Amino acid sequence: MNELLDKDDFLGLAHLLPEGAKELVRLIGFEPTFLLIKHHGGTHFPVGQNYNKHGKALFAALAEVIGEANAEKITLTFATKRHFFVPKCQTLMTELRRRKVRAEFDELSKDRPAYIAVKELARKYDLVESTIWYILKTIDVETIADISQMDLFSK
């Protein structure tokens, strides 16, 4: 479902992030956290000390996604743990999928019956038709336009 992840949606729905993702945002910022979740969400990422060949390869893989400065911050923060978990952000991803289903339904149902549009969406998103109907009856979770309104940077 990471193909659904869009930076603007990520920022607008940041209040749906799990605590682990918020910690990453505090450490390296929104943009690098967004990239890390997009590429490695739901996985444990090993942290190398950047001393030997294996450690340098791990550091390079991390730096390729989030940049060297941010990779260094993560290395220093998580070096004693030897790995860190990149959250999958399932609540946020589910809300993004629901928004996309509703938007696509609006488009599809312009030129075909609703039940046909629902059938197509169920196949596309690997969901059952009743779930698509349920999604269509729900509304978007509120977005936060100004991220400074969010209590992200306090513990």
In this structure, the answer to whether residues 83 and 103 fall within a common structural domain is no
In this structure, the answer to whether residues 32 and 73 fall within a common structural domain is yes
74, amino acid identity: I
Q: What is the C-alpha separation between 101 and 95, in angstroms, rounded?
A: 10
* Residue 137: both structure tokens together: 């009856």
Domain assignment present for residue 10? The answer is no
pLDDT along the chain (155 residues), means of 10: 61 84 91 90 85 85 94 90 90 89 96 97 96 94 58 49
**pTM for this one?**
0.69
Domain assignment present for residue 13? The answer is no
What are the phi and psi torsion angles at 45 (to 5°)?
-110, 120
Number of domains the chain is built from:
2
- SS3 assignment for 70-87: HHHHHHHHHCCCCEEEEC
In this structure, the answer to whether residues 81 and 122 fall within a common structural domain is no
Q: What is the C-alpha separation between 132 and 37, in angstroms, rounded?
A: 26
Instruction: Give the domain range for residue 102.
Output: 94-141
Domain assignment present for residue 33? The answer is yes
In this structure, the answer to whether residues 81 and 105 fall within a common structural domain is no
